[in-house]
Structure 1
Amino acid sequence: MNRHNADKQSSAKDFRREWAARGFLILTGVALLASGLFSDLGWLAERGIAPFDPRHPAHERYMAFFPGLLIITGVLSLILGTWRYPLFALQRLAVESPRKALGGLLLLFLVIAGWIAHGPFRNYPFCMDEYNFFYQAQIFNEGRLFLEFPEKFSIFTEQYVIFDEGRLFSKYAPGFPLLLAIGVLFGLPGWVNPLLALATLVVLYCFITTFIDRKTALPAVVLMASTPYFLGYSASYFSQPLALLLTALGFYFLRQFQLTEQTRYLILCGLAAGYAAMTRPLDAFCLMVPAGFYLLVILYRKKQLPRVVYPLAAFSLLFGIFLTYNYLLTGRISIATYPIVEGEFKVVDRQATSFIENLLGIAEFYWINAKESLPPLFGKHFLLPTAILTPLFALVGVFRWKSGWKWVLLANFALLVLLYNFHPGTGWPQYGARYYYSGYFAVVVLAVCGLRGILNRIGTSAAVYAFAAMLLLHGAFSATAIWQYEHRFEVVMDIWQDIERACPGEQTLVLLDKRSSLYRSPKLAAVRFVDLSDFHRNPFMDPSRLHLKHFRRLNPREVRENFPDHTPCIYRYDILRE
Structure 2
Amino acid sequence: MRGIEGARGRWTGRVLRGLGVVGALMLLVLSLVKGDWPSEPSYGNGWPVPLSVKASILRSLLALVAGLALAWMPSLAPWRERAGRWLFHSPRRRIQWVLGTAAFLLYAGVAWFRFKGLPFLDDDAAALFQARIFAAGRLTLPVPKYGQFFSLFGLLGRAHEHPFVCTMYPPGLSLLLLPGVLAGVPWLMIPVTGGLLVAATITLGAELAGERVGRLAGLFMLGSPFIGILSGTHLSHIPTAGLLVVCWLAVVRLLRTGRIRHGVMAGAAWGAACLFRPLTALVVGVVVALGVLVQWRRALAAWRGVLAALLLAVAGGALLA
Taking a change above 3 Å as real, the CA distance of residues 285 and 222 of structure 1, as seen in their structure-2 partners, is same
C-alpha distance in 2 between matches for 1:171 and 1:122: 25
**Deviation (angstroms), 1:299:** 4.4
Cα distance, 1:150 vs structure 2 = 3.3
1:230 aligns with one of 227, 232, 241: 227
- Identical aligned residues as a percent: 23
User: Which residue does the alignment assign to 2:260?
Assistant: 263
CA contact (8 A) 2:292 2:299 kept: no
SS of match in other structure, 1:168: strand
Deviations along 1:248-267, one digit per CA (max 9) or x if unpaired, are 11111100101100111112
1:62-77 aligned at under 5 Å gives the runs: 77=69
Per-residue displacement from partner, 1:398-453 (whole Å, max 9, x unpaired)? xxxxxxxxxxxxxxxxxxxxxxxxxxxxxxxxxxxxxxxxxxxxxxxxxxxxxxxx
1:539-578 to 2 correspondences below 5 Å: none
Deviation at 1:90, TM superposition (A): 0.2
Does residue 133 in structure 1 map to residue 134 in structure 2?
no
2:108 to 99, 114, 125: 114
Residue by residue, what CA displacement relative to the aligned partner does 1:371-419 show, whole Å, maximum 9, x if unpaired? xxxxxxxxxxxxxxxxxxxxxxxxxxxxxxxxxxxxxxxxxxxxxxxxx
- Whether contact under 8 Å (2:248, 2:266) holds in the other structure is yes
User: 4+ residue runs of structure 1 moved beyond 6 angstroms?
Assistant: none
Distance 1:102 1:272, change over 3 A: closer
Q: Counterparts of 1:140 and 1:130 in 2: how far apart (Å)? A: 15
Q: Is the 8 A contact 1:256 1:265 kept in 2?
A: yes
**Paired residues of 2:126 and 2:152 also in contact (CA < 8 A):** no
Distance 2:199 2:70 in 1: 32
Aligned residue number for residue 406 of structure 1: none
Q: 1:206 to 1:90 in 2, by over 3 A?
A: same
Let me know the Cα RMSD of the aligned residues. Answer: 3.1
What is the number of residues matched between the two proteins?
A: 262
- Contact between 1:161 and 1:169, CA under 8 Å: does it hold in 2? yes
Amino acid at match of 2:314: S
- The answer to whether structure 1 residue 210 and structure 2 residue 204 are counterparts is no
Say whether the 8 Å CA contact 1:150–1:166 is kept in structure 2: no
Note if contact 2:256-2:298 (Cα within 8 Å) is conserved in structure 1.
no
Identify which of 78, 83, 96 aligns with 1:85. Answer: 78
1:9-20 to 2 correspondence within 5 Å? none
Superimposed CA distance per residue, residues 207-248 of structure 1 (whole angstroms, 9 cap, x where no aligned partner): 121233323321111111101111111111101111101111
Partner of 1:279, secondary structure, is coil
- Is 1:200 the counterpart of 2:197 in the alignment? yes
1:95, distance to aligned residue in structure 2 (A): 2.8
Return the alpha-carbon distance in structure 2 between the equivalents of residues 238 and 49 of structure 1: 23
Show the 5 A alignment for 1:276-287: 276-287=273-284
SS at match of 1:322: coil
Offset from partner CA, 1:133-185 (integer Å, 9 cap, x none): 11111111111111111364235322221125430011110011101111111
Alignment-derived partner of residue 38 in structure 2:
none
Shift of 1:300: 4.7
List aligned pairs for 1:456-467, cutoff 5 A.
none
1:176 pairs with 2:176: no
The answer to whether the 8 Å contact 2:100/2:196 transfers is no
Once the two structures are superposed, the pairs formed by residues 381-396 of structure 1 within 5 Å of their partners are none
Q: Say which SS state the counterpart of residue 316 (structure 1) adopts.
A: helix
Conservation of the 8 A alpha-carbon contact between 1:151 and 1:166: no
Q: Distance in 2 between matches of 1:249 and 1:75?
A: 31
What is the distance in 2 between the residues matched to 1:269 and 1:104? 26
The Cα of 1:70 is off from its aligned counterpart by 6.3
Q: What is the identity, as a one-letter code, of the residue corresponding to 2:79?
A: P
Alignment TM-score, normalising by the size of structure 2: 0.72
Mapping for residues 356-435 of structure 1, pairs under 5 Å: none
- One-letter amino acid of the counterpart of residue 291, structure 2: Y
- Secondary structure of the 2:156 match is strand
Q: C-alpha deviations, 1:505-546, integer Å up to 9, x for none?
A: xxxxxxxxxxxxxxxxxxxxxxxxxxxxxxxxxxxxxxxxxx
Partner of 1:366: none
* TM-score, normalisation: structure 1: 0.42
Structure 1 unaligned segments of length 5 or more: list them. 1-47, 51-65, 324-578
Q: Deviations over 1:452-475 (max 9, x none)?
A: xxxxxxxxxxxxxxxxxxxxxxxx
Contact preservation (8 Å) 2:108, 2:188: yes
- Whole-angstrom CA distance in 1 between matches of 2:171 and 2:178: 10
Q: Deviations over 1:5-60 (max 9, x none)?
A: xxxxxxxxxxxxxxxxxxxxxxxxxxxxxxxxxxxxxxxxxxx799xxxxxxxxxx
> Structure 1 293/113 Cα, relative in aligned 2: closer, same or farther at 3 Å?
same
Deviation, structure 1 residue 190 = 1.3
Taking the aligned partners of 1:302 and 1:254, their CA distance within structure 2 comes to 10
CA distance in structure 2 between the partners assigned to 1:303 and 1:212 by the alignment: 24
**TM-aligned CA deviation for residue 119 of structure 1:** 0.8
Q: Match for residue 99 of structure 2?
A: 105
Q: Which residue, out of 283, 289, 293, partners 1:292?
A: 289
User: Unaligned regions of 5+ residues in structure 2, if any?
Assistant: 1-40, 44-57
| Amino acid in the other structure paired with 1:321 | L
Query: Does the 8 A contact of 1:176 with 1:239 survive in 2?
Result: yes
Supply the distance in 1 between the matched residues of 2:299 and 2:66 (Cα, whole angstroms).
55
- Partner amino acid for 1:248? V
Letter of the 1:287 counterpart: V
**2:92 maps to 1:95:** no
Q: Take 1:243 and 1:160, find their aligned partners in 2: how far apart are those partners?
A: 19
> Quick check: 1:314 aligned with 2:307?
no
User: In structure 2, what is the Cα distance between the partners aligned to 1:98 and 1:302?
Assistant: 31
Question: Is this contact kept in 2: 1:250–1:287, CA < 8 A?
Answer: no
Question: Is contact 2:122-2:154 (8 Å) kept?
Answer: yes
Kindly provide the CA deviation profile for residues 65-93 of structure 1, in whole angstroms up to 9, marking residues without a partner as x. Answer: x99x969x869936962422222210111
